[in-house]
Amino acid sequence: MHINFEFKASTNKLGELEEKLKTLKPLFIGIDHQIDTYFNTQIGRLKLREGNIENALIHYSRPDIADAKQSDVLLYTHSDSKILKEILIKSNGIKVVIDKLRKIYFIDNVKFHFDTVESLGTFVEVEAIDKDLSLGIEKLQEQCKFYAALFDIKQEDYINCSYSDLIIAKANY
């Protein structure tokens, strides 16, 4: 397991925020078309990510607060998800499917997502990642605070939940 400290914020200035980040010379990983299938679970969230760059089964738990927050993550990378997906569907059932286009960057241990999510809009996510628990939560919090200030994220911009929750809430209106 590793620890993330992260935030997600809604923005209508996705390109502008990406240009701000580029001034810091991040490593550009690429543009990933991701399909995240969320499954029913009793604890936390479980999703199967299928993309052209990232493919993983991810279980995570984090509080639903509109701010930067800690996320406890278990991540299993895979190359072929067909059988894995079938097992998960049969055992858990599908909760919701998210379709997004994601631009991915890194600066050291910090990962940046510039997302366009079908039916929801545009978002920026920052994940300060401690894979081996050597950095500590305080360092991760400082990193998130720095990038939130760089992107001029206001309290009302923060998203308190996952894209899955937003899609479900939208469908229930």
The span from the CA of 106 to the CA of 22, in Å, is 10
pLDDT for the residue numbered 98: 98
pLDDT for the residue numbered 158: 97
Burial of 15 (0-12, 13-18, 19+ CB in 10 A): exposed
**3-class secondary-structure state, position 157:** helix
pLDDT, tens digit (0-9, with 9 covering 90-100), for 108-136: 999 999 999 999 999 999 999 999 989 99
Closest by CA to 100, choosing from 39, 171, 156, 49, is 49
Q: Are 48 and 161 in contact (CB under 8 A)?
A: no
Task: Detail the DSSP E strand segments found in the chain.
Answer: 2-10, 27-39, 45-50, 55-61, 69-77, 94-107, 110-117, 121-130
- Enumerate the domain spans of the chain: 2-171
pLDDT for the residue numbered 85: 95
CATH superfamily of 2-171: Hypothetical Protein Pfu-838710-001 (2.40.320.10)
Answer yes or no: is pLDDT of 11 > 90: yes
Mean pLDDT score, 66-92 = 92
pLDDT for the residue numbered 152: 97
pLDDT, tens digit (0-9, with 9 covering 90-100), for 48-69: 999 999 999 999 999 999 999 9
pLDDT for the residue numbered 78: 87
Give me the residue label for tokens 């010379």.
25
56: CB partners within 8 A, 6+ apart = 48, 49, 75, 76, 77, 78
pLDDT, tens digit (0-9, with 9 covering 90-100), for 134-172: 999 999 999 999 999 999 999 999 999 999 999 999 988
Mean pLDDT score, 11-18 = 98
107: CB partners within 8 A, 6+ apart = 21, 24, 25, 26, 27
pLDDT, tens digit (0-9, with 9 covering 90-100), for 29-49: 999 999 999 999 999 999 999
- Looking at per-residue pLDDT, the higher value among 172 and 17 belongs to 17
Burial of 1 (0-12, 13-18, 19+ CB in 10 A): exposed
Answer yes or no: is pLDDT of 1 > 80: no
pLDDT for the residue numbered 24: 98
pLDDT for the residue numbered 111: 98
